[in-house]
Amino acid sequence: MVIGGGFGGVNATRALAFADADVTIVDRTNHHLFQPLLYQVAAGILPEGLIAPALRSVVRKQQNARALLAEVTDMDLDGRIVSAVAPDGRRLSLPYDTLVVAGGATHAYFGRDEWAEFAPGMKTIEDARHLRSHILSAFEMAELATDPAERADYLTFVVVGAGPTGVELVGQIAELAHKVLPRDYRTIDTTEAKILLVEAAGAVLGPFHPKLRRYTQRRLEKMGVDVRLNTMATAMDSGSITVKRPDGELERIPARTRIWAAGVQASPLARLLAEATGAETDRAGRVAVLPDCSLPGHPEVFAVGDMVSLNRLPGVAQPAMQEGKYVGKLIRGRLKGDPPPKPFKYFDKGSMATIGHTHAVADAFGMRFTGILGYTMWGFIHVLYLIGWGNRLGTLYTWARALTFSKNRAHRIITFQQAHDEVAHGPPARAEPARPPVRARQGAV
Ligand SMILES: Cc1cc2nc3c(=O)[nH]c(=O)nc-3n(C[C@H](O)[C@H](O)[C@H](O)COP(=O)(O)OP(=O)(O)OC[C@H]3O[C@@H](n4cnc5c(N)ncnc54)[C@H](O)[C@@H]3O)c2cc1C
């Protein structure tokens, strides 16, 4: 049984392709989401289908694997039963011999969960669709506004958190405002949009080399982004965000669009595993696994990806993929009676982020790349890791059309109702709290 069809879960499943095993992959979505390109869905560049192939089609050729659409709510490790809820609310009991948990992570608001209502994050396809509607609705409302102050509020976009996601999103909003939309609006000048990137730390792209950080900041500023470092969000409401500036003063920034890209926490499934096995969790709620990714006292239970802490690895795609593959191979070997493999060892392939069209930073193979070279590497790697040739070619075609030839964004569809919902009610209730609560069963789990 594999819980989660993200990078960790899919790689574990695929590594079991030739094992003498029946593999069930359970996910609360029906697709494998390529999160690194989610911001392009939010920006209207890519249609979601290209980055979210159906899990069923991902495992179509793998005869020993099947996919189930259900939300896992509980795990009884002693009884070896996973409890889940079907979309119609039916309770499912799914027995297993070996369990791989790859539930990923979700947004963290550092104890200010109420901010989720005012500053949505981006983790799922629903989040990206919602952000797209919200950004486009803001421009539409600005076009309709007659009061200059109201118009300015609609044309102010604040992204909180200058990690790769925040940088990529803010870069896309800047491109929309400065390159794509000016031709299409008659009343407003979209280049007057105020686009702010707010970061509590002293640099953008914290974990990157200082040279790449400086390049990124300069580039964003050239694109019209107001980069506010050492600046912390302290309050929010439906029409503004308040920040504490480096001089200690509070500043209220009226803005109808605020986007949260500042933190993540592990899936609640990590806490369940920790409670069941006595494993530690870290500040981000990630469960500490043993060097072979198994849980203490349960050699038949593994956890991988964003929800685990192992060797201080970052919560990015490569560790999840490599851990998933490692665990799949370990289980395959175990079924064949092979001796246990060596502990998991991570191969660092580097990190990269884009800063709008033709600019990116990449830190790979001990070298650092910027500009078009970094961008080409970024594009190559991302297309390579997409699942399916159709999606790879479709993405290349869409990029060529949207970014190079038409300089347009084809996926800009909103309806009156969507715009009304965005403007009148703000973001929809976030997915995590809306679901049935994940229960911790005393003793059994
Ligand atoms: C916007 C964004 C941009 C990113 N950009 C990059 C990047 O450029 N480079 C990079 O290396 N990494 C990037 N990452 C991080 C990378 O995507 C993650 O590290 C990676 O997806 C982790 O893989 P995973 O398998 O642990 O979790 P995920 O890929 O998140 O998969 C978890 C799966 O579990 C399912 N699930 C969760 N809970 C349950 C449940 N209770 N029941 C059933 N199913 C459940 C979810 O639906 C999901 O399909 C980005 C992440 C985001 C959000």
Supply the range of the domain harboring residue 288.
Answer: 2-28+70-107+264-336
pLDDT of amino acid 122: 95
Whether the CB of 132 sits within 6 Å of ligand 1: no
Q: Based on the domain organization, do 157 and 217 belong to the same domain?
A: yes
Q: Report pTM.
A: 0.93
Q: Is residue 149 one of the residues assigned to a domain?
A: yes
Q: Based on the domain organization, do 279 and 219 belong to the same domain?
A: no
Say whether 48 is catalytic. no
Q: Is residue 419 one of the residues assigned to a domain?
A: no
Q: Based on the domain organization, do 136 and 188 belong to the same domain?
A: yes
* Domain total in the chain: 2
The rounded distance, in Å, linking the Cα atoms of 11 and 304 is 10
Whether the CB of 281 sits within 6 Å of ligand 1: no
For 124-176, the three-class secondary structure string (H helix, E strand, C coil) is CHHHHHHHHHHHHHHHHHHHHCCCHHHHHHHCEEEEECCCHHHHHHHHHHHHH
Q: Based on the domain organization, do 132 and 272 belong to the same domain?
A: no
Q: Based on the domain organization, do 368 and 331 belong to the same domain?
A: no
Q: How far is CA 105 from CA 197, 277, 293, 432, in A?
A: 23, 20, 17, 11
Q: Based on the domain organization, do 96 and 234 belong to the same domain?
A: no
pLDDT of amino acid 365: 83
Nearest residue (CA) to ligand 1, atom 19 = 316
Per residue of the chain (445 residues), what is the pLDDT tens digit?
Answer: 999 999 999 999 999 999 999 999 999 999 999 999 999 999 999 999 999 999 999 999 999 999 999 999 999 999 999 999 999 999 999 999 999 999 999 999 989 999 999 999 999 999 999 999 999 999 999 999 999 999 999 999 999 999 999 999 999 999 999 999 999 999 999 999 999 999 999 999 998 999 999 999 999 999 999 999 999 999 999 999 999 999 999 999 999 999 999 989 999 999 999 999 999 999 999 999 999 999 999 999 999 999 999 999 999 999 999 999 999 999 999 999 999 999 999 999 999 999 988 999 999 888 999 999 999 999 999 999 999 999 999 999 999 999 989 989 999 999 999 999 888 765 444 444 334 444 433 322 2
Q: Which of 168, 175, 199, 422 is catalytic?
A: 168
CB atoms within 10 A of CB 111: 7
pLDDT of amino acid 426: 53
Residue 233 sits in a domain whose CATH number is 3.50.50.100
Whether the CB of 104 sits within 6 Å of ligand 1: yes
Q: How far is the CA of 160 from the centre of ligand 1 (A)?
A: 20
Nearest residue (CA) to ligand 1, atom 27 = 104
pLDDT of amino acid 73: 98
For residue 10, give the ligand 1 atom closest to its CA. 25
pLDDT of amino acid 298: 98
Q: How far is CA 95 from CA 80, 89, 215, 331, 443, in A?
A: 6, 19, 52, 17, 18
The rounded distance, in Å, linking the Cα atoms of 7 and 325 is 10
Which of 7, 35, 107 most suits a substitution to test ligand 1, by most atoms within 8 Å of the C-beta?
35
Q: Based on the domain organization, do 321 and 227 belong to the same domain?
A: no
Whether the CB of 3 sits within 6 Å of ligand 1: yes
pLDDT of amino acid 428: 45
pLDDT of amino acid 424: 77
Whether the CB of 9 sits within 6 Å of ligand 1: yes
Whether the CB of 35 sits within 6 Å of ligand 1: yes
Q: How far is the CA of 305 from the centre of ligand 1 (A)?
A: 8
For residue 29, give the ligand 1 atom closest to its CA. 47
pLDDT of amino acid 160: 98
